[in-house]
Amino acid sequence: MSRIAAALLLLTLAGCAVPAPSPDTPRTVARVDLVRYAGLWHEVARYPNFFQDREGAEACLATTAHYAPLPDGRVAVENRCRTGSGERSARATAYAVKGSEGARLRVSFFWPFHGDYWVIGLDPDYRWAVVGAPGRDYLWILSRTPEMAPPDFAAALAVIRREGFDPARLRPAAQPIS
């Protein structure tokens, strides 16, 4: 193997490593029962991001995520949204990080790249969830219904503040015009 190929392999493997959380990272919930978590979730609010907030007719509206356990322990993910030109969807697989009790997932929309999906807030009845990334650059508030009751939204905001995310960056989920 050439030195260049070996260096590229080493860099690729290092990029796939899962770093241990530091004291500066947000805390996750103690445990997520991925079978209970399965099903349809509606995005209520999010931090703006490049893959959902495209210009013009391609911006995502009415975003949903569907999670389904797979026989091998991984989770199938399907994200959908409406755009001005139709519907977009993206499929991924996720796995729980060892020792995280399902609260930290690594999600891959295409191999070998993975993203962190950390459940930092979760209603005891799994009615809403707050999901973020350890670098605090991504954040979503999800609900089993398209709208959240004000007390539930306030509870989600309290989690966001407690874990050091900036609530001013949140944008309400854009709903389609009927």
Domain positions in the chain are: 38-172
Q: Which residues contact 108 (CB under 8 A, 6 or more apart)?
A: 92, 93, 94, 114, 115
More confident residue, 113 or 125: 125
Domain spanning 38-172, CATH class: mainly beta
Per-residue pLDDT band at 60 (split at 50, 70, 90) = confident
Residue 85: predicted pLDDT: 84
Give percent of the chain with pLDDT exceeding 90: 67
pLDDT at 57: 63
Distances (CA, A) of 45 to 52, 122, 130: 12, 15, 10
Give pLDDT tens digits for 34-58: 999 999 999 999 998 877 877 656 7
pLDDT at residue 67, as a whole number:
97
Residues 6+ apart with CB under 8 A from 136: 26, 164, 165, 166
pLDDT higher than 90, residue 64? yes
| pLDDT level of residue 12 (50, 70, 90 thresholds) | very low
Q: Which residue has the higher pLDDT, 85 or 124?
A: 124
